Amino acid sequence: MPQDSSGLASAIASPTHYSSRADGGQTALLSLATSVPPIVLRQSDVVARAASLFDGRRSDIDRLLPVFENAGIATRHSCVPLDWYEKPHSWSERNRLYIDNALALLGEAADACLANAACEATEIDAIVTVSTTGIATPSLDAHLVNRLGLRSDVVRLPIFGLGCAGGVLGLARAAALARAMPGARVLFLVVELCALTFRKTDQSKSNIIAAALFGDGAAAALIGPGGSDAGRALAIGKSGEHTWPDSLNVMGWQVEDDGLGVLFSRDIPTLVRDEFCAAADAFLARHDLTRNDIDSFVCHPGGTKVIAALEDALHLRPGTMHEARYVLRRYGNMSAATVLFVLDRHLRGEASPRRVLLSALGPGFTAAFMTLERP
């Protein structure tokens, strides 16, 4: 599958090859790359097809069609064409497609990430893989050992169930693993194939909204020592999370006979507007920081209403999160991978920020946080 043609698959690091295995004193994000499948779904085409896919007598599709038009999305990428949704598909068929396409996208993103950091696959000491839109045993990382040419003693950590928060929480787990293995290089991979989860038999409002929002994508990040020779690498700072009590029904999947059924609460934008800021402030305070110490907020764009709620919650001017809106418009919501697409956009901007607060919201209901800083 081809790399993202917009150039998002290039790395943020200078092409410095690290020959030293000594700890550079900091754990750093050395390289970042993304990939998407080749099939482009134009939102206008999806809208035209939606009425025929959903049973108008059993769903609110006629009333909910404006959801597609107001989603702030122009295009998305998918590993299957629109025609695929016309026929029923079993859970086993969906999952076979998930494994095949996930491995292709992860291989592409990983190759680009390592190449741009001038790092050989044999130099990777650990691999952390995050995904929630399918299952694989042996896990995806086990498949990738041979595919990427990793060493046989590479440490593997597959993570399932984090949903949209997986991009931040997975990166935090990878950084923690790197700190526990001084001098190690850790490859962090995330892939979500949300398009495979759409089920035409599900006439619920949540499924219709998901059909308007979700796309497919993957990202790879290289984490390692961040010494003085680390070029433009970003130091990985503190990380943390906040899980609200009694919130399991806010977001997630329900396993059905023919696949995964999406669970969305209509209250998510309200929850973000009312409670996200307090959680972010508490995280920052634990590390002697305030919002005034943050140059840029890099947030997972769950949807246009969520982005607006985040700006309100953080007391930002409307439109401040223009990079998040760009990624949503261009790629849709790719669950855990999305926030890394937004980070890539920020880091390639003319005025790259000195200190970033990375955040995402996912099942739990959980807010994930991480700080990234220029040396």
Catalytic residues: 164
Give me the phi and psi of 217, to 5 degrees please: -175, 165
Is 306 in contact with 271 (CB distance < 8 Å)?
A: no
Residue 373 in tokens:
């800083």
Q: What is the CA radius of gyration of the chain?
A: 20
**DSSP assignment of 234-280:** EEEEEEEEEE-TT-TTSEEEEEETTEEEEEE-TTHHHHIIIIIHHHH
Buried/exposed 167-181: b ≥16 CB within 10 Å, e otherwise: bbbbbbbbbbbbeee
The SS3 assignment for 193 reads: strand
Is 277 in contact with 294 (CB distance < 8 Å)?
A: no
